[in-house]
Amino acid sequence: MSDLQSIENVEPEVDMAVFIPAVIIVLVCAIPLMIFPESASQLLGEGRKVIMSNFLWLYLSVALGAFLFCMWLAFGPYGHVKLGAPDELPEYSDTHWVAMMFTTAIGASVIAWGFAEPIYYLQTPPMGIEVGSSKSFEWAHMYPLLHWGIVPWSIYALPAVPIAYMLYVKRAPVLRISSACDGALPVRGRNQIKTVIDILIILGIVGGVATSLGLGVPLLSAMLSTLFEIPDSMVIKMSVLGLWTLLFGTSVYRGLKSGIKVLADINIVLATIAILFVLIAGPGVFILDLTVNSIGLMFNNFISTSTWTDPINNGSFPEDWTGFYWAWWLAYTGMVGLFFGRISRGRTIRQLVLGVIGWGCLGTWLFIAVMGGYSLYLESTGTLAVKEILSTQGMSFVNALVIQSLPFGKFTLFIFTLLSIVFYATTIDSSAYVLSSICAKNLRSDAEPRRWSRVAWAVLLALITAGILQSGALDTVLSITVLSSVPLIPIMILLCISLVRWLNQDFGHLVRPKELSLKSQDLNSNNEST
């Protein structure tokens, strides 16, 4: 009897060997942040500085390598390999598939950064560009497209393929990233190595999600403060966190199809309305002109910006921005990869890779370009002193005040507030779902983890976010991201090796080019003729 048959009718159990150590480590990180916020924040900052000062080259190389590997998967000999049975149709329609991918991977982070990120680049332009110049505005709009575009979505697509291959080709009776590494792991000590991998994946996910919530809670708090004209406070922030915990806890309790999919569909509708409104009500022509210019600028400088370390001047821009973003995507890749792989049944490798990169880029570029373009318009025309707001009130209030400057200010801000609430709920409940899946001992691809485990992870994510909020520093959020991403680099390499070995074993004889040679008599005939 196969492993799949033997657990077919068994209720998924929680693997305490993974769950307990992961929970302990999360609590060990969260409690000091709440009790000793300043000291903990300083320690995290030092760790981040050490990593980025010495290993920026590694992060840039891994990120670019992920893109190149994805291109090989999509256009190489194994692009037509189907992730499922020959006659199996995709489990989700293209619309639902794209909606769940986009909202799970990005969420309201595009709102948190969309309006504010270009303004940061105006303050400290890259590539030695003069502050306040027209070129600084153009590059300030371009760089977010780089940081939210092709490379990030390649980082997300890469682990999704071996995970989907493990689930729907190898038919593994588990839903764990460590099992997708089987092809690269030695037989001796494999189980112990896989346990370590699962724990590291969990820590990476927690760090990535904590970053999102650490940015999202102040964002929503600032929106509510501006909307109701009340002072922002820790009470509001904790109330927001409590509301989110209740919302995404309920969603993740309901499960994948009845909870997460519904929220994702709502998100796409709201996001589309938001983009169209800013274009129509705002300076649409300016934004479109700037976007087309930025796309050309990005593709023209794709390699140089993706590999820029500023080795001579030793400026901090690559470490503070490109390095941070690549670390953030890497930290999230465990969650996103597992989720993308789980929902991609019935598609080919090419469809999965190009779908993730293509639709992902389209969604983020539209949002980032429109929102960032509007902020730059306000700053360039003097309509709103966005740079000054960023310097004096911080990133969260930039978003709130820029949104309020649109027509029907209060109502518009209310819509964006609602969008942020639902966006983040989708991201976090997907994270809790994946975390509980990794901690499940015998979870099939068509089953769902224990409800109490899903809810427990939703609460734990809220707890570590509460610790981050106590520090009140953006640097703390960024540092947690970088530190939690470190173990993901070797895991990504293991996933690549495992997938290539599996593909060669299963399909190598079908795609490997056959040798061509003349028969012996023909060779002799050729020799005689010469």
DSSP per residue, 311-348: TTT--SHIIIIIIHHHHHHHHHHHHHHHHHHHT-TT-B
Tell whether 151 is covered by a domain. yes
Tell me which amino acid residue 234 is.
M
Tell me whether residue 92 is in a domain. yes
Please indicate, yes or no, if residue 528 is contained in any of the structural domains: no
pLDDT, tens digit, 9 for 90 and up, residues 27-51: 887 788 778 878 888 888 899 899 9
Cα torsion 374, 378, 380, 383 to 10°: value is 160
- Structural domain including 436 reads 3-504
Residue 527 within a domain = no
Q: Does residue 519 form part of some domain?
A: no
Tokens 């306000």, residue?
378
Count the alpha carbons within 13 Å of 468 in the hemisphere toward its beta carbon: 31
Q: Which residue, 432, 415, 2, 368, is CA-closest to 223?
A: 415
Residue type, 82: K
Whether 513 is in a domain gets the answer no
Cβ(141)–Cβ(372) under 8 Å? yes
Residue by residue, DSSP assigns 24-71 as HHHHHHHHHHHHSHHHHHHHHHHHHHHHHHHHHHHHHHHHHHHHHHHH
Count of beta carbons in the 10 Å neighbourhood of residue 34: 16
Beta bridge partners of 173: none
Do residues 225 and 236 touch, judged by C-beta distance below 8 A?
Answer: yes
Which run of H or E residues covers position 251?
Answer: helix 234-254
Query: What are the structure tokens assigned to 513, written together?
Result: 């080019």
- Domain count of the chain? 1
pLDDT, tens only, 206-226: 887 777 777 778 888 888 888
Q: What does DSSP assign to residue 14?
A: B
Question: Is 512 within a domain?
Answer: no
- pLDDT, the chain, mean: 84
141 close to 369: Cβ distance less than 8 angstroms: yes
- Token pair listed for 495: 């996933």
| Interatomic CA distance for residues 63 and 200, integer angstroms | 19
* Two tokens, residue 64: 């670019």
CATH number of the domain bearing residue 89:
1.20.1740
**Residue 522, domain member (yes or no):** no
Cβ neighbors of 420 (< 8 A, separation 6 or more) are: 108, 111, 216, 219, 220, 223
Q: Specify whether the backbone of 449 is left (phi greater than 0), alpha (psi in -120 to 50) or beta.
A: beta
| Four-residue CA torsion sign, 341, 346, 350, 351 | negative
Q: Are 429 and 458 in contact (CB under 8 A)?
A: yes
pLDDT tens string, the chain, 530 residues long: the values are: 444 444 444 556 788 888 888 888 888 877 887 788 788 888 888 998 999 999 999 999 999 999 999 999 999 999 999 999 888 888 888 888 887 787 666 666 787 788 999 999 999 999 989 998 999 999 999 999 999 999 999 999 999 999 999 999 998 877 788 999 999 999 888 989 999 999 888 888 888 777 777 777 888 888 888 888 888 888 888 888 777 677 665 655 555 455 556 666 777 788 888 889 999 999 999 999 999 999 999 999 999 999 999 999 888 899 999 999 999 899 888 888 888 998 899 999 999 999 999 999 988 899 899 999 999 999 999 999 999 999 998 888 898 999 999 999 899 998 888 878 777 766 666 777 778 878 877 666 556 677 777 777 877 877 777 777 776 666 777 788 888 899 999 999 999 999 999 999 999 888 877 676 666 666 566 566 55
b/e map 261-300, b = 16+ CB within 10 Å: bebbbbbbebbeebbebbbeebbeeebeebbeebeebbee
Closest of 148, 401, 371, 418 to residue 270, by C-alpha: 418
- The span from the CA of 403 to the CA of 407, in Å, is 9
Task: Report CA 108 to chain centroid distance, whole Å.
Answer: 12
**Spatial separation of the C-alpha atoms in residues 107 and 266, rounded to whole Å:** 12
Distance CA 25, CA 30 (A): 9
* Phi, psi (degrees; rounded to nearest 5) at 34: -80, -35
- Cα–Cα distance for residue pair 53/47, rounded to 1 Å: 10
Alpha-carbon distance 404 to 406, whole Å?
5
